[in-house]
A and B are shown apart, each in its own frame.
Chain A
């Protein structure tokens, strides 16, 4: 297993467009997380999946954001009608407190 994989690494989009990011977790991990990191800040929790069920969502996850994890494998995070404030690094992680959390390299979104 090569760890947590995220695609694309970078995304530049015009304001108002929709974007979708993909995360492939470590295959034996049931839990998957999305975080957002803005410049100069630590990552902030967005949402969490246990297998295919989305069990927790942060208040940061506005109605324009939707995440899915069909079949409990990879996950997608979609942002609709992007705004400049959505520009950030979006990080995916899998694991838990016992085994630790493994993060991917992130998708850096720039909304112009």
Chain B
């Protein structure tokens, strides 16, 4: 079975502060894929990043960065210098090669206070 744990439910930060969202995953498969999605109040899930299990390089995209560590089964997400537009629910998700289901965590509600 595959499982994703996002421990923090709601995180409030003041604008321009950094915020890190933790994602811990469980899988028995050796080839798997991790994702982060953003869900604004409109409801649509917006794709942010995909990582496969063989690529442990950290990634930076603008104010977003991701830290993938297989040793601790974690795929954490940091928003640097947060803005009000970053207020949303962020989901970490997992699937494996040959699997057609995404397993989602419960999400992190990020509230950026101006």
Contact = CB atoms under 8 A, between A and B. Distances in A.
A100 B101 CA distance: 12
Interface of A: 31, 33, 35, 40-45, 48, 55-56, 58, 89, 91, 93, 97, 100-106, 108
Contacts of B37: 103
Interface residues of B, number: 25
Interface string B39-78: 0001111110010100000000000000000000000000
A105 B44 contact: yes
Contact of B33 (A33, A97, A102): A97
A91 B47 CA distance: 14
A42 B93 contact: yes
Contacts, number: 58
B87 interface: no
Contact of B95 (A56, A91, A97, A106): A97
14 contacts: A33-B102, A43-B91, A43-B102, A45-B101, A45-B102, A45-B103, A58-B101, A89-B43, A97-B97, A100-B35, A101-B47, A104-B44, A105-B43, A106-B44
A76 B79 CA distance: 37
